[in-house]
Amino acid sequence: ADAAGLLGLRPLDEGFMQGLDTLLTKKEISTAVGKKRGSVYMKTLSAEEAITGRDTVARIIYSKLFDYLVKEIKKNLDPEDMKSMKREGNVHYEPRFIGLLDLFGFESFKKNDFEQLLINFANEVLQNAYCKSVLIAEFDLYRSEGLIVDDIAVQTGTECVQLLERGVVGGLDKITTNPNPSDDKFLKELYKRSKGHPFFMQAHPKIRNEAFGIRHYADDVTYTVGTFNLKNTIAIPNLLK
């Protein structure tokens, strides 16, 4: 009852615990199409789906708590009297802030799942942005100032980012929205479309029907499917919206 109350759940037929039980073991299904009204019913999740849903709820709670802390810190760093000084252009106004740079850490384990794919994807995007904004931009600045700069090939990882964005994550999204989606369909389509790509690796023949590899800038990583489609379809439960 305490956990349900802290989550802000409202009592259903059997009180708070029924609400928490619904959150963790049920999924709301609607047959509505567009603005046309349809039926709404509750589907009981499988054990695997319930575990994934539980983890999703934990991540949502963490995200909301983090956002709350940031909001409260900003409120205390920039109170109303300071805001009025800023609006009035008061010379005594001094902005106060805390600067944080939170980088995604590269992950590579014996078995890499959907979470590692997303973390490494984000890491790859950051590396790409860093190379463009720091290295390439600096070279362009030097040239604009008349300095002689050798043509240095900078590996920005753009091709790898495009493979992850369009081929892997984009391909998974397409499969997920199709009738009867499955990891097997996703993997077959990925191998078909990514064959020959310099940053795509075929897994060892013994595990090729359940894995694929990506040549990240940090290291090569083999990802094992099986729960990709399931985890990609987990949405925020209506009870937490």
DSSP 39-72: -EEEEEPPHHHHHHHHHHHHHHHHHHHHHHHHHH
pLDDT on residue 10: 54
What is the CB neighbour count within 10 angstroms for residue 199? 20
Q: 């987990």: which residue's tokens?
A: 234
Residue 148 CA: distances (Å) to CA of 140, 156, 183: 11, 22, 52
Note the pLDDT of residue 15: 45
The secondary structure of the chain in percent helix, strand, coil, rounded to multiples of 5, reads 55, 10, 35
> What pLDDT is stored for residue 35 in this prediction?
64
**Token duo for residue 194:** 């990514």
Sign of CA dihedral 34, 232, 197, 161: positive
Across the chain, which has 241 residues, the per-10-residue mean pLDDT values are 66 52 77 67 84 85 89 80 71 74 85 96 92 84 88 86 97 90 96 96 96 97 95 70 60
Angle at CA 57, nearest 5°, toward 54 and 60? 155
* Placement of tokens 């990882």 in the chain: 157
212 three-class SS: strand
pLDDT value of residue 131: 86
| pTM for this entry | 0.70
Question: What does the CA dihedral 226, 230, 233, 236 come to, rounded to 10 degrees?
Answer: -130
User: Which is nearest to 127 in space by CA: 41, 192, 215?
Assistant: 215
Q: Which three-class secondary structure state does DSSP give residue 32?
A: coil
pLDDT of 134 reads 83
Nearest CA to 157 out of 136, 127, 196, 198 is that of: 127
